[in-house]
Structure 1
Amino acid sequence: MTPQPFLHTTPDELLEPTVETVIDIPFHTGNIRQFRIVLPTSIDSLLDHPSTHAAFAQDEYMPYWAELWPSALMLGRALAQQPWPEGIKVLEVGCGLGVTGLIALALGMEVTFSDYDAAALKFAAKNAQINGLRQFHTLPLDWRYPPKNMTVPLILAADVIYESRNISPLLNLLNTVMGPTGECWLSDPDRPQKEEFQSALSEHGFAFEAMATTLERPQQPLVKGTVYRIWREH
């Protein structure tokens, strides 16, 4: 039997109540922009629900999308420090709450939020709308099965190589979707797969710049990580 993409929909009754937080992002222009982020109040109810247990049994699914991860903030801050062409088309992979995509939208990009959980797309769209951002699309996507009819100059991915099994599918996605002169910007909190990932990039014909970064937040531990700029070697 041919393997099929895995897509999931977290039941609506698990998406309430919600909480709103505000993040501050410094831009290359010198101004600091605030973004409102709505997210589920607690991930515990999602973890304990039978639909999550069933999805985990089927594909080791976990509702990681419902957290505001440090890597998303790291990647968003790195993006905001660069000038980008107006209207550049972007695919955000595993968008979760859409934090990185929001910052890309604020930079004038046209963003496609993608995730394998429809609830994540719902929250990403809501977060874009409450921040007055409209140039976006949503795409249900298991990125182990890249869309064959899409090519973009920029792919964004935050904290997607948390397991070694994710590395090969990610590189396949880049080969399939990233334009010939395109780039992928990817953030990782220096998980144990760091060296494996870097070796795999080189072995598959990708060049990269690894930018060490830290994230400081009030009353939160310091997080160290890496933002990668990845492109094809020619």
Structure 2
Amino acid sequence: MPGYETKQERIAVAGVDDLFIRSLLDRQQFSDPHGDAADIGISSATWPLFGLLWPSGAELAALLAMRPVRGAERILEMGCGLGLASLVGHRRGADITASDCHPLTGAFLQANLLLNGLAPMKYRYGHWRTPLPPLPREGEAAQLAVDGPYDLLIGSDLLYDRDAADDLAGFIELHAGDAAEVWIVDPDRGNRAAFNRHMAGQGFTLTEQRLDRAETAAVAGYKGRLLSYVRHLPPQARTTLA
């Protein structure tokens, strides 16, 4: 037994076939027998959050399902958790890489690929707050670090504490291309103003789109916004940014 319980759900996302998603049973699950999560700052309280489906993640997946697939475009999902948006993009044929720092994210992603009969997809270790772990020894499962640059960087509900604004913006600067676009679906967290300032300092222009939706018998309600950032910089200009 892995030390935690799971469930399986059928998730509908407009524009793609339904996806079967294996997730943690609830927020009470926890199993870190070797301290892998604790070593990178994941507490017992935050440990299960990667393995649950969140409303903002569903909104991000729906937005990506409507975006035309561009053959030369590289997409990175940051803090992917169960990677619903990544699975949607992968199913549609996009060149998408899922990334997270939780020790079990890769295993859950692989399980959900198998559940849906999907080919393997790219997964990378991506943590914007702690040093990367050592590269795996030969024969171990690969845990390679995020490798930029990317044309579109996406994430959902990432601005959950004050430090996240600075750290996430720094991570984006490391991995965003010169003409990159960034999508953050944010459920009206209080830290987006600081994040917006950091992104402006990197040459990004912000457009906000409300995603509010009233609850009905068939559809869950949602309150939040899409923060969409774009920039168009010649390579030499990046070195002058503060």
TM > 0.5 between the two? yes
Q: CA deviation at 1:70?
A: 0.7
Partner residue of 1:33?
17
The alpha-carbon deviation at position 87 of structure 1 amounts to 6.0
Mapping for residues 71-110 of structure 1, pairs under 5 Å: 71-86=56-71, 88-110=73-95
**1:177 is matched with which residue?**
175
Deviation, 1:221, is 5.9
CA apart distance, 1:143: 2.6
Output the CA distance in 1 between the equivalents of 2:187 and 2:38. Answer: 24
State the SS of the aligned residue for 1:183: strand
Aligned to 1:44: 28
Give, in whole Å, the separation in 2 of the partners of 1:136 and 1:72.
19
Find the counterpart in structure 2 of residue 8 from structure 1. none
Give the root-mean-square deviation of aligned CA atoms.
2.8
With over 3 angstroms needed to count, the CA separation of the structure-2 counterparts of 1:143 and 1:57, relative to structure 1, is closer
Q: Which runs of 5+ in 2 are unaligned?
A: 133-144, 234-242
Unaligned 5+ segments in structure 1 are 1-11
Q: Where does structure 1 differ by over 4 angstroms across 4 or more consecutive aligned residues? A: 49-58, 145-149, 215-221
Partner of 2:236: none
Tell me by how many angstroms 1:233 deviates.
5.0
User: Could you state the TM-score of these two structures normalised by the residue count of structure 2?
Assistant: 0.77
Residue 59, structure 1, aligned to residue 41, structure 2: yes
Q: CA deviation at 1:103?
A: 1.1
Aligned to 2:114: 129
Shift of 1:83: 1.1
Aligned counterpart, 2:140: none
Q: Equivalents in 1 of 2:227, 2:89: separation in Å?
A: 16
- Deviation by residue 1:73-93 (Cα, 9 ceiling, x = unmatched): 111111112212136322211
Pick the aligned partner of 1:210 from 208, 211, 225: 208
Q: Deviations over 1:23-48 (max 9, x none)?
A: 21112xxxx521111101122131xx
Aligned partner of residue 118 in structure 1, secondary structure: coil
Structure holding more strand per residue: 1
How far apart, CA to CA, are the structure 1 residues paired with 2:200 and 2:109? 32
Matched AA of 1:231: V
Distance 1:50 1:170, change over 3 A: closer
Quote the Cα distance in structure 2 between the aligned partners of 1:51 and 1:173: 29
Residue-by-residue CA offset, 1:136-195 (whole Å, 9 max, x unaligned): 112222233685852121212111111110111211122111111121221111112133
- Structure 2 residue aligned with 1:186: 184
What is the TM-score normalised by the length of structure 1? 0.80
Q: Is the 8 A contact 2:128 2:168 kept in 1?
A: yes
Moved more, 212-221 or 146-155: 212-221
Does the 8 Å contact 1:98/1:127 carry over to 2? no
Identity across aligned pairs (percent)? 23
1:232 aligns with 2:231: yes
